[in-house]
Structure 1
Amino acid sequence: MAQHTNQLLEGIGNMVRDVASAAETVSASSQQLLASTEETTKTIQSIARTNGEIAEGAEKTTAQMENSLNQMRALNQSSQNASANADQVKS
């Protein structure tokens, strides 16, 4: 009877050690996953900032292009006016 009890206790002890080992493995994996998640979060935040900067740059470029277009239109109008004036002087 004592031998069976000892075997039972030994089996329980082995099972407890196995569970403890598995818990350590899960804990280590969890820590690695947490570190990886934190790094991914930082990367996503950096990408979001960069996208915001790109969008801001695109808005500025669009505004500058619109300004250039308006200036070109004004220059074209002035050129047409000068041409019309020159035609009137010739006549």
Structure 2
Amino acid sequence: MKQCTHADALPHPEPKPLSDTCPQCLAEGSHPVQLRLCLTCGHVGCCDSSPGRHAAEHHKDSGHPIMRTHEPGEHWRWCFVDHVLV
């Protein structure tokens, strides 16, 4: 089973969200399907089911490897680099 090689490098405590919603969706006038929180810097972006896919775009632009769901009641994390749940 493949494991994430980036989780040990995450900041502790995890960063606070920089916004309540996806700022790119807000600027574009679109609505995010679900939100994701970058665990390196706190950027909030929309999921891959949203038109903008801004969380994945943030990873591509920044190289920050791990995000977590920013939805109430959900607690999973995803490593974009290793393509595994963390």
Q: Same fold (TM over 0.5)?
A: no
Q: Choose between structure 1 and 2: higher helix proportion.
A: 1
TM-score class normalised by the smaller sequence: under 0.3
Q: If you compute each CA radius of gyration, which structure gives the higher value, 1 or 2?
A: 1
